[in-house]
Chains A and B, each alone.
Chain A
Amino acid sequence: MRIYKIVGLVLALLIALAFPLVSPNPAVTTVAVFTLIFAAAATGWNVFSGYSGYISLGHAAYFGVGGYAMAILCQDWKIQGGYSAFWLVPIAGLVAALFALPLGWIALRVRRHTFVVITIAMFFILQLLSYNLRGLTNGSIGLGLPIPIDWGGDFYDIPFYYVALAVLLLAIGISWWVRNSKYGLGLLAIRDDEDRAMGLGVTTGPSKLVAFIISAFIVGMVGAIWAYFVESIYPASGFDATFDVAVVLMAYLGGLGTISGPILGALILEPAQQYFTVEYGANGYYLIIYGALFLVIMLLLPRGIVPTLTDRWNRIQLARHRESAPPMPAMALSTGSGAESTDRKEEINL
């Protein structure tokens, strides 16, 4: 099973690396860049919300901060269009992470629904600031980013594709580490029962805050790539509430709290959205089709694709176990009232 997994992952990576070379059509590679951007954003969002169960509807704030950081740094440091601007992507992520530190500290003082409301409020505060801090953001006119004039129309998407892919791979790596580390296990325990987790020694407050910051770092980097790709940023595009909806839907569709779920969700939803926009954008029907598609999926797979399939597999396993297993070992031992037993069950070294 493990070898199939590794082979599958290597194949997926090779396909992703070869894709823009095999299919150089700019219309297709543009969709691919947006898909990778949203896959990375959904994965980053999932590192916090998916694993801890705290649903943030304000991560567009960090997307916007990342985008604006990119634009402002390019302007102030006189960065020309080209490869060198990509070095600013991690710095933009760090700026977003810095913003997330105090905002997360405040928001995480409350739980569940109140937390959701606070994240939305913080998103609107940052959006308003971007309109009003004209000296920094140029108000509603926004900021332009350097245009890589050397890159022709056929080539323009390619560097963005590979940088977005690199950020996605980094996000997957972080997500994988979180899912498999003790730290991540603590986050998953918080998702299931925060007070119980605390009662078992999990330091819930710092754990949540660190995940929030990591998540903002990834989403900030994504915002920077996006801003550079579309060559401009203004408050309504950088701090866009539909970004939050899209990212959350992607994570839910694929499977919240899983490594592959958000990527799968982005791979399905983003190209579908782009296709519907192109085909039915003029009459607005695309929104109806998009909504109907989502409703059907939610009705058939309410927990997302990956958890639903995993659940079905688990149930089959459980049924097999119940059919084939002898009575529980515990029960077999329990007929006496404390009779001495000599098997290894008694030899627990405490």
Chain B
Amino acid sequence: MSFLEAQGISKAFGGIQALETCSVSVEAGSITGLIGPNGSGKTTMFNVMTGYERVDSGQVRLNDKAITNLSPDKVFRLGIGRTFQLTRIFPRLTVLENMHVAAQRNDFKGLLSRWSSTHEQQRAIELLDFVGLTSLKDLQAGNLSFGQKKLLEFAFVLIAEPKIILLDEPAGGVNPTMVNYLADRIRKLNQQGITFLVVEHNMEFVMNLCDKVLVMHRGTKIAEGAPAEIRENPAVLEAYLGD
């Protein structure tokens, strides 16, 4: 059963049609890859799914409930977390403060309380441990290396206990050791029930990690299937090597 589904999404920016009646779906509990050449509309699809862009037409559904054009904060609270291609952390906050931003609870009492309460502090440290950043918790996040920023972004999305995480090029610009580490973390979380949708250009990373791969080209989906099938798919080869 589809957990997150985009049906017939169209989105244009001026004269550029970024998505054209594009449909993708992600099964609950899966790690799904979303690949395609540059400009094929992968990030736009992420933006539409997470409320950062409004659709021109089509529908986004989470667990069979329509979430089309909801604002990003509402989408996040429904259980969809995401990371960005160019890491977006809060550079002037410390690593620990970054973790607590995503732990926001919007009830009145929650907002009045101190962010460094014992329970949440423990949870934040646990997750920093999980990505190996605990020793850097009091540093300003802007001082971290690129790879460490990726891990921090990944960790602070986790603190809100999302049901599905959309990762936009998690391995981009990250050294191979860190890439393996990240893949390992994703598998662990997936075993605990979190669904993943991963946009990535590193084919080895995608093919080793994902259960299913979706391929986009020129704003629409051109193929989907198991990694081995996608490798041999002529339409995919054409999209990457053709034109």
**In residues 52-78 of chain B, which contact A (Cβ within 8 Å)?**
52, 71-73, 75-77
- Does B136 make an interface contact (CB < 8 A)? yes
Q: Is the CB of B110 within 8 A of A182?
A: yes
Q: Is the CB of A318 within 8 A of B135?
A: no
Q: Is the CB of B180 within 8 A of A335?
A: yes
A254 shortest CB reach to chain B, Å = 16
Q: Is the CB of B73 within 8 A of A204?
A: yes
Q: Is the CB of B139 within 8 A of A337?
A: no
Among B7-15, B20-28, B85-93, the stretch in contact with A: B85-93
Complex CA gap A203/B72 in Å reads 10
- Does B183 make an interface contact (CB < 8 A)? yes
B29 shortest CB reach to chain A, Å = 13
Instruction: Report chain A residues within 8 Å CB of B71.
Output: 198
Question: Can you name the residue of chain B whose Cβ is closest to the Cβ of A199?
Answer: B72
Complex CA gap A186/B75 in Å reads 17
- Does A321 make an interface contact (CB < 8 A)? yes
Complex CA gap A331/B181 in Å reads 7
Q: Is the CB of A321 within 8 A of B188?
A: no
**In residues 109-149 of chain B, which contact A (Cβ within 8 Å)?**
110-116, 126-127, 129-136, 138-140, 143, 148
Instruction: Report chain B residues within 8 Å CB of A185.
Output: 93, 97, 100-101, 104, 115
- Does A325 make an interface contact (CB < 8 A)? yes
Given contacts A180-B116, A201-B160, A314-B140, contact A334 B131 (CB under 8 A): no
Question: Can you name the residue of chain A whose Cβ is closest to the Cβ of B92?
Answer: A192
Q: Is the CB of B104 within 8 A of A321?
A: no
Residue among A189, A317, A335 making CB contact with B139, cutoff 8 Å = A317
Question: Can you name the residue of chain B whose Cβ is closest to the Cβ of A337?
Answer: B180
Interface size class of A (residues with CB under 8 A): 35 or more
Which of B82, B91, B181 counts the most chain A CB atoms within 10 A?
A: B181
Q: Is the CB of A201 within 8 A of B104?
A: yes
Instruction: Report chain A residues within 8 Å CB of B103.
Output: 182
Q: Is the CB of B113 within 8 A of A321?
A: no
Instruction: Report chain B residues within 8 Å CB of A317.
Output: 138-139
Q: Is the CB of A334 within 8 A of B104?
A: no
B151 shortest CB reach to chain A, Å = 6
Residue among A183, A193, A339, A348 making CB contact with B126, cutoff 8 Å = A348
Residue among B90, B104, B143, B151 making CB contact with A182, cutoff 8 Å = B104
Q: Is the CB of B132 within 8 A of A189?
A: no
B105 shortest CB reach to chain A, Å = 7
Q: Is the CB of A195 within 8 A of B187?
A: no
- Does A323 make an interface contact (CB < 8 A)? no
B38 shortest CB reach to chain A, Å = 22
Q: Is the CB of B88 within 8 A of A201?
A: no
**In residues 127-182 of chain B, which contact A (Cβ within 8 Å)?**
127, 129-136, 138-140, 143, 148, 151, 156-158, 160-161, 177-178, 180-181
- Does B50 make an interface contact (CB < 8 A)? yes
**In residues 295-348 of chain A, which contact B (Cβ within 8 Å)?**
311, 314, 317-318, 321, 325, 328-339, 344-346, 348
4 tightest CB-CB pairs across the interface, nearest first?
A330-B132, A334-B181, A192-B90, A329-B132
- B residues with a Cβ closer than 8 A to A are 50-52, 71-73, 75-77, 82, 84, 88-93, 97, 100-106, 110-116, 126-127, 129-136, 138-140, 143, 148, 151, 156-158, 160-161, 177-178, 180-181, 183-184, 187-189, 192-194, 208
A sample of 16 cross-chain residue pairs with beta-carbon separation below 8 angstroms, ordered by A number, consists of A180-B115, A181-B111, A181-B113, A182-B110, A186-B104, A188-B92, A189-B101, A192-B91, A196-B90, A199-B72, A200-B73, A333-B132, A334-B181, A336-B180, A337-B184, A350-B158
